[in-house]
Amino acid sequence: MANDGVNEPADAGRRRFLGATTAVVGAVGAGFAAVPFIKSWNPSARAKLAGAPVVADIGALQEGQRLIVEWRGQPIWIVKRSKAILDALPTLDPRLRDPESENKDQQPDYVLASEPEYRSIRPEISVLVGLCTHLGCSPEMVAEIRPEPYDPQWKGGYFCPCHKSRFDMAGRVFQGVPAPTNLLVPPHHYRDENTLVIGVDPAAGAAAKGGA
């Protein structure tokens, strides 16, 4: 299966996943305004339930924006990270529970092949399952690099207001919070520069493309 080795979070998180299956919210950098809706291509409801891949057009995704699509009933966050965010990630390692993503169940191996702290195929594009690994709540994206009440050294990331778990902008969990593991990275690959496919690993995607 395309998602072998990557656990799925608790179904309880679906209670927190409200609204449309696709939306763009959040920003990276102080003063970044709300951004307009960005369309994504999705399969039929029946195909979603069967676990079919989801294809997302990220061509219009700007730095600091987050695109949300649904795959297997879970919110998938696609975020275009800034250079400042990428530069901050390695500095957070001493504060994280699993900074090198040694728990292999939380992401496919290929997202650690280049820059492990990014947990992504392309450094600037983060792809995460948007459900807290504690009880399946959906954390808030708080991407600005600035002090926050819950962390005066905040470098951007995800904060779960339900039980105060915190994750950095690569989905790595902080020490001393209820969440036990990093956010999941789903199987995915890039069909081309602007097309992201959720649910299929790069090798399988290349094989399918070659057989077309």
DSSP string across 78-92: EEE--HHHHHHGGGG
Q: How far apart are CA 51 and CA 7, in angstroms?
A: 14
Rounded to whole angstroms, the Cα distance separating 52 from 42 reads 9
pLDDT at 143: 93
Domain covering 11-204 in this structure, CATH number: 2.102.10.10
Q: Look at residue 45 and tell me whether its pLDDT is greater than 80.
A: no
Pairwise pLDDT comparison (93 vs 42), residue with the higher score: 93
pLDDT surpassing 50 at residue 3: no
Across 111-136, average pLDDT: 95
Domain locations along the chain: 11-204
| Residue environment code for 162-173, b if the CB has 16+ CB neighbours within 10 A, otherwise e | eeebbbbbbbbb
Q: What is the pLDDT of residues 59-110, one digit of tens each?
A: 999 999 999 999 999 999 999 999 999 999 999 999 999 999 999 999 999 9
Tokens of 121: 């195929």
pLDDT above 70 for 161: yes
Beta bridge partners of 141: 158
Amino acid at 81: R
Residue 43 above 90 pLDDT? no
- The whole-angstrom separation of Cα 126 and Cα 79 is 5
Strand ordering across the sheet containing 195-198: 54-57, 195-198, 188-192
The pLDDT value recorded for residue 140 is 95
Closest C-alpha to 133, from 65, 78, 183: 183
197 against 24, higher pLDDT: 197
Measured distance CA(180)–CA(145) in Å, rounded: 24
The reported pLDDT for the residue numbered 38 is: 41
Task: Give me the percent of the chain exceeding a pLDDT of 90.
Answer: 67
Find, among 41, 47, 55, the residue nearest to 72 by Cα: 47
pLDDT at 179 over 80: yes
More reliable by pLDDT, 16 or 207: 207
Is the pLDDT confidence value at 19 over 70? Answer: no
Max distance between CA atoms of the chain, in angstroms, equals 53
Task: Assign 151 a pLDDT band (cuts: 50, 70, 90).
Answer: very high
